[in-house]
Amino acid sequence: MSGSDVPILEPLIDLRGAGTSLTPQRARLLHALETQHSISAAARAVGMSYKGAWDAIAALNRFAGQPLVEAITGGSGGGGAQLTVMGKRVLAFHQALTTLQQRLLAAPPGATSPSDIDQLLQRLGNLMLKTSARNQFEGRVVSITRGAVNSEVVLDLEGGDRLTAIITHRSVEDLGLREGSSAIALIKSSFVVLAAPGTRTSARNVLAGTVSRCRKGAVNAEVELALAGGCRIVATVTNESVDGLPIDEGQKMLALIKASHVILAVAV
């Protein structure tokens, strides 16, 4: 069989729920709706009829037991539609599964080797790690720089964001870390410091994002940032800090993390 005759594999993630499904086309519709805030505009963007888009959204609003799309009333445009919190989570889950499958099928035909399969299994194992750390980021090691006592390990995350961790040489050896290997970065939410854009800091990791959620408790607040690359990071800060900065949903913020506060782990 010649190279041109090799069948092209395309990922197809079809999530089932409540007698309906979230297909790739419906996922594209939700993604378009997230930016267009209009069912008719989103339908045009993905090549669907208005009735087809309306029927798909009606079905998807039964998909997870909670609506994925809600109406927007009022405004200069007379209203529209947007994703609910559940809708954003379901869409992000579908996109994450699609990305994982795309990576699996990205290798040229015949290029798969036992080491590639082992690497994939390791990454899947990483995703199943159980830990108390609020933030977990799966990524690929892009560099390891040895110092006198410790090593600086740089991890490439989904979407282009990067994290730097400072760990001992012994830890690098025990974890079997090397350039190209997979690892999980664990960060306690209390180790994440929030700051306004443009803040000068000595923190090794400075991640830019937008506040997607801010929930106050009795003393502290849990703030979630959607990073530019698509990952999300959670910080635990005092209610006083929320009011003092201030921190509001939709606001641009920086997540600052010391390299020594990043813990690396791998599947065993």
Q: In whole angstroms, give the CA distance from residue 41 to residue 261.
A: 45
Asked if the peptide bond before residue 114 counts as cis, ω within 30 degrees of 0, the response is no
Q: In whole angstroms, give the CA distance from residue 161 to residue 139.
A: 10
Q: In whole angstroms, give the CA distance from residue 87 to residue 103.
A: 24
CB-based contact 133:188 (threshold 8 Å): yes
> Domain residue spans in the chain?
15-103, 118-268
pLDDT recorded at residue 102: 66
Q: Which CATH architecture describes the domain 15-103?
A: Orthogonal Bundle (1.10)
What torsion, rounded to 10 degrees, do the Cα atoms 142, 126, 237, 232 define? Answer: 70
pLDDT recorded at residue 196: 92
Q: In whole angstroms, give the CA distance from residue 104 to residue 119.
A: 10
What torsion, rounded to 10 degrees, do the Cα atoms 151, 156, 160, 164 define? Answer: -20
Q: In whole angstroms, give the CA distance from residue 97 to residue 228.
A: 19
- Count other C-beta atoms under 10 Å from residue 66's C-beta: 13
pLDDT recorded at residue 108: 45
Q: In whole angstroms, give the CA distance from residue 30 to residue 15.
A: 14
User: What is the pLDDT tens value at each position of the chain, 268 positions in all?
Assistant: 444 454 455 557 777 776 788 888 999 999 999 888 899 999 999 999 999 999 999 998 888 788 899 988 754 444 688 898 888 888 888 877 777 676 655 544 454 454 555 665 565 555 555 555 678 888 889 999 999 989 999 999 877 889 999 999 999 999 999 998 888 899 999 999 999 999 999 999 999 999 999 999 889 999 999 987 778 899 999 999 999 988 999 999 999 999 999 999 886 5
Q: Which CATH architecture describes the domain 118-268?
A: Beta Barrel (2.40)
pLDDT recorded at residue 260: 94
